[in-house]
A and B are shown apart, each in its own frame.
Chain A
Amino acid sequence: MYELQKVDKKFPGVHALKAVDFKVGRGEIVGLVGENGAGKSTLMKVIYGAYQPDGGTISIDGKTMRFQNPRQAMEHGIGMVFQEQSLIANLTVMENIFLGFEKQFVRFGVINWKAMAAAARHQLAKVKLDIEPSTITAKLSFAQRQLVELAKVLTLEERIDGDLVILLDEPTSVLAREEVQLLFKLVRDLTTRASFVFVSHRMEEVLELCDRVYVMKDGAVVDVVAQNQADIDAIQHKMVGREVDKRYYREHKQKPYDADKVLVSMQQASIERKYHDISFDLHPGEVLCLVGTEGSGREAILRTIVGLERPSAGRLAIKGQRLSRFSARQAVAKGVGYTPRERKIEGIVGGMTVFENMTLSQLHNYARFGVLRVGDEKRLAREWIERLAIKTPSEMKDCGGLSGGNQQKVVLAKWRSGGSDIMLLDHPTRGLDIGAKEDVYEMIRDMSDAGVGIVLVADTLEESIGLAHTIIVLKDGVAQKRFDCTPDSKPSLYDLVHHMI
């Protein structure tokens, strides 16, 4: 009854959806799986009206629709259950449930709270949640919030006459096993009234709940399998299957690392809700890749090494010295360099020039009694602009005006010129074009040759496999498997995916 035909969506530099056909029948539960970046979230956003497709049609019961915004989609019975973050924590449960639709309870500009509470109680009963509607949302557990989210979407039942399509985005990621079972039972019960689209990284759950599963890869639907014919292995193969060019990732330049020395040693470290019992050693010249889905703990581990997060248990030693206090200042002084994922926000300071960005982490090397030697700073910047072939008219240019690849080079130059020999790279190639990516790969190999230890969270699995000496696969914050990779014996994509989801 709900159908997408040949839906296309392009963003600058990315073809996010390629002629996607997608169908949801009445009372059906449809699963949607794919790697990070395969196009799942773009597709979801098209369905609930946050994005407008560039091509193709959306139809409900054969009638073509076009939604300008999520509210219009809601008016046609399409609701999205976000992960628990979308509730406003300082409002009450009932205010959250009816946020934006309070009008039904308003008389002469005044809200009838009793009526709203009664209506909210009715919605909460649908999801079998027994709480006072006037509870402040922040006091609920994660599982309860997830159910409130669902209750909020179910208000569509009263408002809309036709069928409902409800999207569930990773609803189980914060739930315990019993809670997941409760949710699934609820969803099955609700199929009398609504259809569901279920997105999850947990393959077993998808197969348990869904009637049909759409498999996406690189913005296209590569397969649709029915529940009774589904096979986890086959689906995982479909999600990843592609050829890799070894030279692209400079695998011929990969040299063995120095296993005798240890730069970073993490032992049995944990942070509640983020990762658990993680241990590894990073050696000079080693590229260690952390592989996992979004939220598997990769970023938190990087942020712990750079001192932005503090582990609740376990030990972390940098260059043989155990850390007790965690601060970025201390980590940077010990030679840690960090290139965060959001380059625009956390990588470079827009508005500051190229040379100012490069010396930001090492100003004390260029100052005497607080007075800067600007001439020396510029000299350093010119040297690195040449070394890394950074395309900028001069070192005086505003760094915010450079292309993404060149900004990334500035960030790397910042750390390398300051003598950092432990590099933490979070999605260093995100948003870069192919040429710029290759430059980054080249730089990673050069750094390895120079004895730098690198912890990498790569943009794709191929990238991880291509670049890594060591791969640690994480799932829900727990290390699943460790792979040692020499150029001739790298694990396959399938090996990794198998442990990821």
Chain B
Amino acid sequence: MKALLSRDSLLKWAPVLVLLVLMLTFPIFEMLNDLARGKEHLYLLDSRFLSVRNFARIAIAAAPALMVALGVTFIIIMGSIDLSMEGTVSVSAVSFAYAFIALGGTLASWAWLAMPLALVVGAAIGMLNGLVHVKLKIPSFMASLAMGFVGTGFALLLTGGERVRVDDPIFRSLLTVRWFNFPIMIYVAGAFLLLMWFVQTRTTLGRNFYAVGGGEELAAASGLNVSRVRILGFTLAGVCYAMGGLLAVGKIGIAETVTGANFMFVSITAVVVGGTALWGGIGGVFNTLIGVLIVFVINNGMVVIGLPSYIQSAVLGALVILAVVLSTDRKAISFVK
């Protein structure tokens, strides 16, 4: 019993608790709103928020962001940071759209090759990012931020500001075809999450992320090729961002320069709120899943109870600080830069 209530286990489960509390809080506001308008409302049962339809809506909104957040999870576990996601998402989404149309414009043709191509594009940008960071010894935040801008600019160059429509019905079935009330893209996202979990727990690379984040000196002294781990980490993150780009295009059927917009704040918020420590070594993909859900439940719940979006940003910002405050052992750290 005592172990259940310890600081450690509390911290471990705090994100899940926050998610549950949020899911029970929004229906209360809903009920109060309805009662004030004289409508009948039974708590939870009559909730529009707690409905399968709404959950599907949350899941659809969250799926692309989850892909992106998974990528940056590994980077943060290594103790680095990656800010290139917006550019990478845009470039891979746009390259996908152009390749898809050029190769036939329907999944039933060779155009399916556009999907692996997009992942390869993402991987290439990620690897370049990692190489710049490691070989030129530029701090990861700066290298990736710059790379992100290059990516956004490149996407604009490709499109000339145009929107590229991808309206192949088979590809759009990612969104339009539902199994058990949830569209196919949710299952794709779920499968990708499991794949990343496999990477995290069952591969040398996944283990090495934790080793580098937990003690880089030691990892080096144990014979690990730390540079290689870092470059591969950024490459893998690039693949995740491309995956996010694909789902984003699948969601709205359009690829454009701003496809990647907003992913930076949302993904990093989600990773941190999920309990992955900013200084590395602690956390994982399921933390990120919870974090992404928290972010999107807040977004959605606030819409349901009718609060304006600028309050949402403020709440998310406050949540990030709270999450970092909770997960930092301030006794062990004297200076923070």
Which residues does A use to contact B, with CB under 8 Å? 306, 308, 328-329, 331-333, 338, 340, 345-352, 356, 360-361, 363-364, 367, 370-372, 374, 414
Contact = CB atoms under 8 A, between A and B. Distances in A.
16 contacts: A308-B221, A328-B220, A333-B223, A340-B218, A346-B215, A349-B215, A349-B218, A349-B219, A350-B281, A352-B210, A356-B210, A360-B211, A360-B219, A370-B205, A371-B203, A414-B222
Interface string B201-221: 111110110110011011111
Contacts of A367: 203-204
A345 B281 CA distance: 13
Nearest to A306: B221
A370 B204 contact: yes
Contacts of A328: 220-223
A15 to B, nearest CB: 25
B282 interface: yes
A396 B67 CA distance: 29
B281 A351 contact: yes
Given A333-B223, A352-B211, A364 B204 contact: yes
Given A329-B223, A372-B203, A347 B218 contact: yes
Interface centre among A333, A346, A374 (most CB of B within 10 A): A346
A360 B208 CA distance: 8
A340 B221 contact: yes
B224 interface: yes
B16 to A, nearest CB: 20
Given A348-B218, A351-B282, A372-B203, 17 more contacts: A329-B224, A346-B215, A349-B215, A349-B218, A352-B210, A352-B211, A356-B207, A356-B210, A360-B211, A360-B222, A363-B204, A364-B204, A370-B204, A370-B205, A371-B204, A372-B202, A372-B204
Contacts of B204: 363-364, 367, 370-372
Given A349-B210, A351-B281, A360-B211, A371 B202 contact: yes
Interface string B251-292: 000000000000000000000000000000110000000000
Contacts of A352: 210-211, 214, 281
A29 B275 CA distance: 56
The 7 closest A-B pairs by CB, nearest first: A332-B223, A349-B214, A361-B222, A349-B215, A367-B204, A351-B281, A329-B223
B211 A349 contact: yes
A167 B218 CA distance: 36
Contacts of B33: none
Given A308-B221, A329-B223, A340-B221, A345 B208 contact: no
A363 B214 CA distance: 16
A374 B211 CA distance: 16
Contact of B202 (A331, A346, A374): A374
B203 A351 contact: no
B192 to A, nearest CB: 17
Contacts of B202: 371-372, 374
Interface centre among A346, A349, A372 (most CB of B within 10 A): A349
A356 B221 CA distance: 15
A13 B215 CA distance: 26
A338 B223 CA distance: 10
B218 A363 contact: no
Interface centre among B211, B214, B223 (most CB of A within 10 A): B223
A306 B282 CA distance: 28
Contacts of B281: 349-352
Contacts of B203: 367, 370-372
Given A352-B210, A356-B207, A370-B204, A308 B220 contact: yes
Nearest to B198: A371
Contacts of B201: 374
Contacts of A346: 215, 217-218, 221
Contact of A345 (B211, B217, B222, B223): B217
Contact of B208 (A332, A351, A363): A363
